């Protein structure tokens, strides 16, 4: 929160164990403070319950982040 109060851009690197343990509802407070969310495609699909990556990113952006970066594993 202190970073946001000082105008610092905040990124959040979403990890599988965070998705599994907390889920979207419990992460919303953190997402409100996040400017850039970094995720792989499997974790963002799991977090949002959406198969379409654009829809998943839009859902996350409604929670706060201005930018969602989704990495993909080649062939997956």
**pTM, whole model, 2 decimals?**
0.86
Which pLDDT score, from 0 to 100, does residue 75 have? 55
CA gap 64, 76 in Å, rounded = 28
Neighbours of 11 (CB within 10 A): 12
What is the pLDDT of the chain when averaged over all its residues?
91
Query: Domain-by-domain residue ranges, the chain?
Result: 2-71
Region of residue 50 (left: phi > 0; alpha: psi -120 to 50; beta: else): beta
The confidence band for 72, taking pLDDT boundaries of 50, 70 and 90, is confident
pLDDT 10s digits, 47-69: 999 999 999 999 999 999 999 99
Which pLDDT score, from 0 to 100, does residue 6 have? 86
pLDDT 10s digits, 27-38: 999 999 999 999
């Amino acid at each position: 929160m202190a970073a946001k109060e000082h105008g610092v851009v905040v990124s959040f690197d979403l990890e599988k164990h965070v998705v599994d343990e907390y889920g979207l509802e419990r992460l919303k407070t953190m997402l409100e403070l996040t400017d850039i969310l970094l995720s792989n495609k499997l974790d963002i699909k799991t977090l949002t319950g959406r198969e379409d990556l654009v829809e998943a990113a839009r859902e996350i952006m409604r929670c706060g982040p201005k930018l969602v970066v989704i990495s993909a594993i080649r062939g997956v």
